[in-house]
Amino acid sequence: MYDFSAFAHPATWISLLTLTFMEIVLGIDNIIFISIVVNRLPKEQQARGRTIGLLLALLFRIGLLLSISWIVGLRTALFNLPFPWLAQPFGVTGRDLILLAGGLFLMYKSTTEIHTKLQGEEEEESLGGKGVSMMSIILQIVVIDIVFSFDSILTAVGLVDNVLVMIAAVICAMGIMLSFSGVVANFVNNNPTIKMLALSFLIMIGFMLVMEAAHKEVEKGYLYFAMAFSLIVELLNLRLRKKSKSKPVQLRDSQYD
């Protein structure tokens, strides 16, 4: 059913490495979302929640890869919306509905998390011993995993034709992300400004998904460059603040007896 002989060619391995790197880049926002949401769980359950979330993402990606014909069919218009300012009716596809729902959910969830952090409710819950259930966190992860997996697989389909190569790249990328998910989660959650920046990134990504649902293609390169530039600036600020705290305060001698 599947052609394993393709792995005998060097070009296949180059495609595998390229696709694995792309899956890691596209999966960073998924790791950030999972890390922030899982942070609402008790400390001893957070690692388990991250592992479950990433494994679910892996299952969704493999499941979508095994049903590529269905994915392609999602680009077919389900119904048309006749807007008077458009020359042609706006065709709404299954892909548009998924991206719209996912984008709105991501924007809502990120905005809610920002509001919670600004109000200090997250700290109050932690001190009061209150927490959210693992099931509610998993349901949120499932919703966003579907959207991120869908967007990731659509990109992969445009780069590689062999399904086995796609599955191998997804498994390799997910293994790497599982290995570093704890480090990323601790870094984001231990630095409030980084966490706020990550939530702002998620709002931006949600808005991008809504724009794509409206058939307004957004160049992802510009988006990721802006995110990387903002992250570098914030890392420099963190280093500067750390250096300022470690520097001893020098008191000037008084001029008066």
Kindly report, residue by residue over 26-66, the tens digit of the pLDDT.
777 778 888 888 887 888 888 888 888 888 878 887 887 77
Q: Which residues of 18-32 are buried (b: 16+ CB within 10 A; e: fewer)?
A: ebbebbbebbebbbb
Residue 230 burial (CB count, 10 A): 14
Judge if pTM exceeds 0.75.
Answer: no
Per-residue confidence (pLDDT) for residue 129, from 0 to 100: 43
Separation of alpha carbons 166 and 19, rounded Å: 7
Across the chain, mean pLDDT equals 76
Residues 142-163 have pLDDT tens digits of 877 777 777 677 666 666 667 7
| Residue owning tokens 């034709």 | 161
Structure tokens at 186: 């601790």
Residues of the chain with pLDDT under 50: 1, 124, 126-129, 251, 254, 256
| DSSP strand pairing (77-81 vs 90-93) | antiparallel
State the DSSP H helix or E strand holding residue 191, giving kind and residue range, or none if neither.
none
